[in-house]
Amino acid sequence: MAIVSNAHEFNVDDLFIDLGFLTDYPLYLKCEGFNFAGSIKLKAALAMVEAAEREGRLTEGSVLVESSSGNLGVALSVIAAARGYRFACVADSRSNDAALAQMRSLGAEVHLVTEPDGERGLVGARIRYVQDLCKRDNRYVWLNQYGNHANVAAHELTTAREIDEQFPELDVLFVGAGTTGTLMGCARYFKQNYPRTAIVAVDSVGSTLFGTPPGRRLIPGVGNGIRPEIFDPSVVDDVVMVTEPETVRTCHRMAGRGFLFGGSTGTVVSGAMSWLSQHAEPEQTAVAIAPDLGLPYLKTIYQPDWVYEAYGMKIGSGHA
């Protein structure tokens, strides 16, 4: 029995799904969305807040501020509510409406930017907005997930160890690349302890993280228009790029078996299956990380009209 006093104290960390119904290659999915924030971002949010408290940056009267397209904003809203902080999330026009509504319900302020910042895109515009807020009012404390090493440490100390406990002979790990906190934390752990484990990053077509051309991206979570300070591509063994239509198809294939996951998870699973179809070896053990669940995507990925308008593809009735 679990009894908690604060929402951020609860997280399911040992749930894995056998994805044998999707692929002929052994692949297990680590589910990270079963907490009150609904995603893996709760780990990074808590680690960054606690680091800021230890450093004396967060004090009574401080206002937390962060750039987020959804999941981290929700996680910080949960923690801010529990700890009595005000929280301002700077999101953009591509952000998930359900996540924004959840933040507001938890007491957060939401600021939306709509114009991209040149080559840095909407993420660059969000960061510039955050920096302007901090310049105007010294109560604002920017956690800066893109450059905060507590973001990386959170996953080195938790996510990677949780995988290691269940799969001590892991051959390959698939991790989505966004702010790269999860990717860097897991890569650091396995490179230090099990260098034989291949770390495969999964990115979205249109993201510039790995030097590919920028392009339209409608699904938040995986991908980035900037290169975060915490990102070190040298610890990544391979990269898979996934188109958004493939993300949608994979989400619907999993939903067809009763598993409703979010866009980030659909991207990671799609990338993992693509990589394994070319590189799988006999008796190989592979794990992919599912960062989120599907409820916030009911009006996008799981909405036929939205999918048809966005990609010209039909879903439902066996179309996906």
Over 70: is that where the pLDDT of 241 sits? yes
Is 278 exposed, middle or buried (CB count within 10 Å of its CB: 0-12, 13-18, 19+)?
exposed
Q: Which two tokens stand for residue 221?
A: 């979570």
**Minimal CA–CA distance to 83: which of 64, 57, 111, 56?**
64
Confidence tier at 91 by pLDDT (50, 70, 90)? very high
Tell me what pLDDT residue 93 has.
Answer: 82
State the CATH architecture for 41-142.
Answer: 3-Layer(aba) Sandwich (3.40)
CB 161 within 8 A of CB 132: no
Where do the H-state alpha helices sit in the chain? 41-54, 71-83, 97-105, 121-136, 149-157, 159-166, 181-193, 244-255, 263-279, 304-311
Query: Looking at the whole model, is its pTM more than 0.75?
Result: yes
Q: What is the mean pLDDT of the chain?
A: 93
CA-CA distance, 74 to 311, in Å (whole number)?
Answer: 27
Tell me what pLDDT residue 319 has.
Answer: 46
pLDDT digits (tens, 9 = 90+) for 53-80: 999 999 889 999 999 988 999 999 999 9
Confidence tier at 317 by pLDDT (50, 70, 90)? very low
Task: Of 162-171, 196-205, 219-228, give the lowest mean pLDDT range.
Answer: 219-228
Cα angle: 236, vertex 242, 244; to 5 degrees: 140
Over 70: is that where the pLDDT of 288 sits? yes
Is 165 exposed, middle or buried (CB count within 10 Å of its CB: 0-12, 13-18, 19+)?
exposed
Question: According to CATH, what is the number of the domain 7-31+156-311?
Answer: 3.40.50.1100
Tell me what pLDDT residue 315 has.
Answer: 84
Specify the domain boundaries for CATH 3.40.50.1100 within the chain.
7-31+156-311, 41-142
**Which DSSP category does 60 fall into?**
T
Tell me what pLDDT residue 320 has.
Answer: 53
CB 90 within 8 A of CB 144: no
Q: Which two tokens stand for residue 88?
A: 């301002």
Backbone angles phi, psi at 223, to 5 degrees: 100, 160
